[in-house]
Chains A and B, each alone.
Chain A
Amino acid sequence: MPVDGEIVIEVPVQGYDAPLSFRRPVRLLPGAPQRITVDVFVPDARRALTVRLVASGREVTRREVPLSASRAVEAVVLALTHEPAGLEFLADLTRKIRAAYITEVDLPVQWQGYAGVQLLVVRDLDERAVSPAQQRALEQWVVQGGRLLVTGGAPLVVLRAPWLLRMLPADPAGLTEVRRPDVLPGLRGPISATMLKLRRGAAGGPMGGRWRWGTGSVLVWAFDPFAPELRSWSGRAAIWGGALDAPVRPWVATAEIGSALPSSRPLAGAIQLWLAALSIVYVVAVRRVLRHAGRVRGGWLAVPGVAVCFMTVMYGFALQARRAGTSVVQASIAEVIPGTGMARVRTFASLISPYGGAFQLKMADDVWIQPVEPRPLTFDGPSAISGNAPASGLRVDASQVVSMPLNGRTAVSDAGLRVEIDNRGALNITDAQIFRGGQVYRLPRIGATLSTLLDPTRWEPFGRQPNPPPDVGDRFMEEVLGRLQRQPSSPDVVAWLVGRLGDGQPAAGQSIRVDAYRLVLMPLRESWEDRP
């Protein structure tokens, strides 16, 4: 007889009595072990978290999982290998990076599951054991700035996963024996290595190749760093350090940009006026009734009557005022990943609930929400949270990858900069601007395509206004341009396209007031991309 229930993981939150709860519905069969993955984040690693199984509202079992701050790390290296050894030296690094040896079954099924992973090392991969969701998650994570290292040796030669081989900067072409590996100084040969044929656009040599994949980085090594002779090699820390710090392009929309959202709004003037009018009418009515109450037998009954009537009306009015005062302001920044037809969308949302109360926030299924500040909330899924809204406002940060068929390129010539935009999405881009070297160039509305030569005299210097613009969309636009200005120049990015998606008006919600602002951001290169 299957048991339908839910796994509840409760994580303590410093400063609050109530925990942060993560709920996941489960169907359990007696006697049949089942693996359930629940992604949680732990704001305070000094206290124990509780795992409970609840069925029909009754707690079936519970277990405390002790945590300790000493076990908290900055980042993790995931090593997909059938032999869980070889990365012990990571513990000697100054950074708190630890290795986790995993098998195919442990690969996350959503890209968000790679949060905190500094490097994914693939050594032994049986492609039949990897689900399509795991493949998609891995690809999406790398495209968004993840670091992937595929190690060589015999496992690489037998690797048959086309989706993974496609991402590699070099084609494996058999196994060879290297007697004196020059790029691995101090290592005594011979070692077994994969022969690599570098692809166009890749950098490296016979012992390894690397290239950019989206905003991420993919490396392939011809040798197997888990082989016994390399595990004891003195130069291993340096070569691993290079892999750990392989350059990836940072995102423009970082968590700090969310602070541009408002956290409060004053009560509407019309509501205050209505309330004042109701109060005056009430006082006048009471005076009138009191004046005449004594003259009529039983007239005093009219006094509580008037009070009850006004109480009902004013309570209803207050509930409406409370509802009107609750709203959501959200700003989404879509950063196009050229050549993929995808964009990473980071949404910053502020739940403005000046008078508190319960709330439920649900986003699309593939969205991963996190509150900016740890609070006792309930996660009914990665994309749904509920709880009591704090009067000081609740800010959440959500990420997702969406399909966005938008591409662009530039061509620099003596005549100036030519920009070509190919927009196959349903939404126009308004208030579009080209940003380059601290200057902006305003473009007309971009429909399906745009091809224009930018007039060199129409560039304007970008400068932040002394006070943030009152409009949230303008404020975010200014934040984005300000971040682009501060970003170090990248050799492959000539300029940036920044604009609003849609007609520029905030989108409204149905149940409560939702003001949604959508911005798009795309790096422009000198050629169309044929790979991420």
Chain B
Amino acid sequence: MNPVLRADVRYRLGSPKALVLHTIFLVVVALLTFLSLPPELGRLDELRQEGLLLAFLVVSTVLTMYFTSACACGEIGIEGEKSVWDLAASTFPAGTIAAGKVLSSASFAMLQWALAGPFIAVVAGIRGEPLAVFLRAALVGIPAATAIGAAGTLYSAEFESDFARSFAHWATLLAVVVGANALPAPWHALSPVRALAVVVREGARPVVWLVASAYAIAAIVCVGLVRRRVERMRLEARTP
């Protein structure tokens, strides 16, 4: 097992700060669940039934994306977790560091998606949707969060300044969630909001797989960029 991944997962699961983070995530999702319960919400028009589930999935996905990328770029610091800069000084190969960091983001995204599962099940169940919608939506939610987490890892390696890192992180989040939504068809499907709408209304259509693949490719590209950056850091460190 990748040692960087193993260490990060341990800290992101059980450190006190991680516990607070997961609790906040669960409380927000639980509150959203309760807010979507009143029958009157569905009475305005027929679209609201599936619309409420979609809205819930969108918020859960955006929250997962934010927490994953914030942890990856260092905006939320987890005790004990080593940054890319720290790891660059270690003996781990650059590829191991880059892959480990991006895989940490993927595992964190999967963890948060799994934690939100019971609440997604409540919203889906009460609105008469099958439980499979949880897995279908994961097809979009987890790759999107992984990709943005990988971008966060890249920013943590590229930018030394906290402000620049946060700025780049938020700009990327906005670009993916809001900006991609404004792209002309068919590119607007790159937005996780659009892709979730397709997956909820029409199922795992080819376009959804394409979007998930695009996010996965983006994450792999980030692995390569982080690896190069780590190698460059080491080169710079060796240069007198």
Contact = CB atoms under 8 A, between A and B. Distances in A.
Interface stretch (B12-20, B65-73, B191-199): B12-20
Contacts of A325: 39, 126
B118 A355 contact: no
A336 to B, nearest CB: 37
A279 B119 contact: yes
A319 interface: yes
B27 A317 contact: no
Nearest to A312: B121
Contacts of B42: 354-356, 391
Contacts of A412: none
16 contacts: A266-B40, A267-B38, A275-B37, A279-B33, A279-B119, A293-B14, A308-B114, A310-B117, A310-B118, A311-B121, A314-B125, A315-B125, A318-B126, A322-B128, A355-B39, A356-B127
Nearest to B15: A294
A408 to B, nearest CB: 43
Given A265-B39, A276-B34, A318-B122, A355 B19 contact: no
Nearest to A304: B114
A292 B15 CA distance: 10
- The DSSP consensus for interface residues of chain A is helix
A312 B115 CA distance: 13
A91 interface: no
B115 to A, nearest CB: 6
A355 B128 contact: yes
B48 interface: yes
Contacts of A292: 14
Given A264-B39, A355-B128, A290 B33 contact: no
B210 interface: no
Interface in A259-274: 263-267, 272
A319 B125 contact: yes
A341 interface: no
Contacts of A267: 37-39
Contacts of B122: 275, 314-315, 317-318
Given A287-B23, A290-B14, A292-B14, A308 B117 contact: yes
B49 A356 contact: yes
Interface in A298-333: 300, 303-304, 307-308, 310-319, 321-322, 325
Contact of B114 (A263, A275, A291, A303): A303
A265 B38 CA distance: 10
Interface in B109-151: 111, 114-115, 117-128, 131, 134
A293 B114 CA distance: 15
A391 B39 contact: yes
A291 B33 contact: no
A357 B127 CA distance: 8
A290 B22 contact: yes
Given A287-B22, A303-B111, A391-B48, A318 B14 contact: no
B220 to A, nearest CB: 24
B27 A283 contact: yes
Interface string A379-399: 000000000001111000000
A462 interface: no
A391 B128 contact: no
A243 B175 CA distance: 75
B9 interface: yes
Contacts of A354: 39-40, 42-43
A319 B122 CA distance: 8
A390 B46 contact: yes
Interface of A: 263-267, 272, 275-276, 279, 282-283, 286-287, 290-295, 300, 303-304, 307-308, 310-319, 321-322, 325, 354-357, 390-393
Given A263-B43, A293-B13, 9 more contacts: A290-B13, A290-B19, A292-B14, A294-B14, A303-B115, A314-B125, A317-B122, A391-B49, A393-B43
A357 B39 CA distance: 13
A316 B117 CA distance: 13
B26 interface: yes
What are the 4 closest A-B residue pairs judged by CB atoms, nearest first? A354-B39, A318-B125, A391-B42, A294-B14
A291 B126 contact: no
Given A266-B39, A303-B13, A286 B125 contact: no
A270 to B, nearest CB: 13
B19 A272 contact: no
Contacts of B118: 279, 282, 307, 310-311, 313-315
A294 B43 contact: no
Contacts of B39: 264-267, 325, 354-355, 391
B115 A307 contact: yes
Contacts of B121: 311-312, 314-315, 318
A295 B10 CA distance: 9
A163 B128 CA distance: 54
A283 B43 contact: no
B13 A300 contact: yes
B43 A391 contact: yes
Given A293-B14, A294-B13, A286 B115 contact: yes
Contacts of A283: 23, 26-27, 30
A224 B183 CA distance: 77
A315 to B, nearest CB: 4
B113 to A, nearest CB: 9
Contact of B131 (A315, A317, A390): A315
Contacts of B111: 303-304
Contacts of A308: 114, 117
A307 B116 CA distance: 8
A307 B114 contact: yes
A354 B46 CA distance: 11
Contacts of B119: 279, 314
A282 B119 CA distance: 10
A264 B114 CA distance: 34
Nearest to B50: A356
Contacts of B13: 290, 293-294, 300, 303
Contacts of B45: 392
A398 B55 CA distance: 38
A264 B40 contact: yes
A313 to B, nearest CB: 8
Nearest to B11: A294
A311 B37 contact: no
A292 B10 CA distance: 10
Interface in B67-125: 111, 114-115, 117-125
A312 B131 CA distance: 9
A316 B124 CA distance: 11
B81 to A, nearest CB: 12
Contact of B26 (A263, A286, A356): A286
Given A279-B30, A292-B14, A307-B118, A287 B19 contact: yes
Contacts of A355: 39, 42, 49, 126-128
